[in-house]
Amino acid sequence: MKLLVLPGDGIGPEITTATLEVLAAVDRRFGLGLSFEFREIGFVAFDKFGTTLPDEVLERAKVCDGVILGPISHMDYPPRDKGGVNVSAAFRVKLDLFANVRPARTRRGVPHRGTEMDLVIMREVTEGMYPDRNMVRGSGEFMPTEDIAMSLRKITAVGCERIARASFELARRRRKRVTAVHKANNFILTDGLFLREVRKVAAEYADVTLDELIIDAAAAWLVRDASRFDVICATNFHGDILSDLASELSGSLGLAGSINAGDKLAAAQAQHGSAPDIAGKGVANPTSLVLSSAMLLSWLAERHARPDLAAAAVAIDAAVDTALADQRNRTRDLGGPLSTSEFTETVVAALVS
């Protein structure tokens, strides 16, 4: 298994190094045969090549088995026509990684806000209310005059159908409940199309229960009783907001893993940003990218019928739980004393013990 490694900006190189140490440990334990190929993205690539995403990076991703994508500082990039490409968006759209899979669960010993939870948000990420991914040319956001700003939202039947199908397939392996989140009372046509396609797919999964919930009610229920949710299926914008909310309620955004998955490729990517204010200080929490890498191994296990990869993913998750259970083993964002490297050593020790 060859993984393309893209460290990214800010704390990206630090948490990527930590993630690779964990993957090396699990590789030794299970004999996975992992190998890594490195490329530069973000500001490092911009300084060298004049773009934050050289074309060869996407081409290499197509021939590798998976990708580890570090955080990026795209809000600080120059304009797109000056080389400031949003790497996350480009990967999702150009490689058709349409499903952003974002689990959120409470963990033993880790303080959380609200109720116990174990849910997964399935977020469609190639369209929706995002100006950089709903036009062939130009932007979906524009200003007819200095005092008028407008934005277009693109929702397609195929985009809704495949995120719905991915949601029902996942729910079938979990607790067999999908909640479709929408705002069809106002976005009558766009969210109406989303619900139409979700209902069509639901008819093929008689063993899975479908709930429908307006976005504001879904946010309220996450705070009130998140235990009611199993798999949440959402369009891009709604899923983006709910996933950060769910992760914070479950303990911290720093604990939230995620993958961007398509039919042929998946990329592990931490849910959080690049945190430039703490970059280089050795205090970043690598948990999110570590757990994302475990999710990537699990995705690869299903695609390639590799039970050893599945076992490795379970082992990483369990090792992280073991480390986080004791406050003395946590990084400072979670009230602990450990540096990035010290926390990584703790997770590796749990893996090999």
CATH code where residue 116 lies: 3.40.718.10
Predicted confidence at residue 149, as pLDDT, reads 96
Q: Is residue 106 part of a domain?
A: no
Closest CA to 338 of 326, 346, 330: 330
Q: What is the pTM of this model?
A: 0.95
Q: What is the pLDDT of residue 303?
A: 95
Looking at the structure, tell me whether residues 156 and 66 fall in a common domain: no
Percent of the chain scoring above 70 in pLDDT: 100
Residue 138 has what pLDDT?
A: 82
Tally of CB atoms within 10 A around 188: 10
- The verdict on 244 and 266 lying in the same domain is no
Residues acting as catalytic residues: 130, 183, 216, 240, 244
Q: 237 in a domain, yes or no? A: yes
**Pairwise CA distance, residues 4 & 60, whole Å:** 7
Rounded to 5 degrees, φ, ψ at 307 are -60, -25
Q: Within this chain, do residues 179 and 205 fall inside the same structural domain, yes or no?
A: yes
pLDDT at residue 321, rounded to an integer: 96
Task: Answer yes or no: do 237 and 273 share one domain.
Answer: no
Render 76-115 in DSSP notation, one character per residue.
Answer: GSPPGGGT---HHHHHHHHTT--EEEEEEE--TT---SSS
- Contact of 110 with 255, CB cutoff 8 Å: yes
Within this chain, do residues 258 and 246 fall inside the same structural domain, yes or no? Answer: no
107 domain residue, yes or no:
no
Are 125 and 50 in a shared domain?
no
* Total Cβ atoms within 10 A of residue 158: 11
Same domain, 269 and 238: no
Q: Which stretches of the chain drop beneath a pLDDT of 70? A: none
Are 245 and 265 found together in one domain? no
Specify the number of domains making up the chain: 2
Task: Indicate whether 26 belongs to any domain.
Answer: yes
pLDDT at 216: 97
pLDDT at 135: 81
| Residue 105 domain-assigned (yes or no) | no
In terms of domains, do 242 and 264 share one? no
Q: Are residues 93 and 146 in the same domain?
A: no
- Among 250, 279, 298, residue at a domain's last position: 250
Residue 63 lies inside a defined structural domain of this protein: yes
In the prediction, which pLDDT does 83 show?
96
Residue 124 lies in a domain: yes
Q: Which domain holds residue 299?
A: 1-99+254-353
What Å distances lie between residue 115 and 219, 288, 338, CA to CA? 13, 21, 27
What pLDDT was estimated at residue 191? 98
Shared domain for 124 and 246, answered yes or no, is: yes
Q: Which CB contacts under 8 angstroms, 24+ apart, belong to 135-138?
A: none
For 1, 92, 258, 313, the CA distances from 297, given in Å and listed in that order, are 10, 19, 12, 6
How many CB atoms sit inside 10 A of residue 207's CB?
8
Say whether both 121 and 242 belong to one domain: yes
Query: Of 250, 279, 306, which residue is a domain's last?
Result: 250
**Contact (Cβ atoms closer than 8 angstroms) between residue 349 and residue 134:** no
- pLDDT attached to residue 136: 80
CA-based max dimension of the chain:
64
pLDDT in the model for residue 133:
81
Q: Within a domain: residue 104? A: no
* Last residue in a domain, options 250, 266, 289: 250
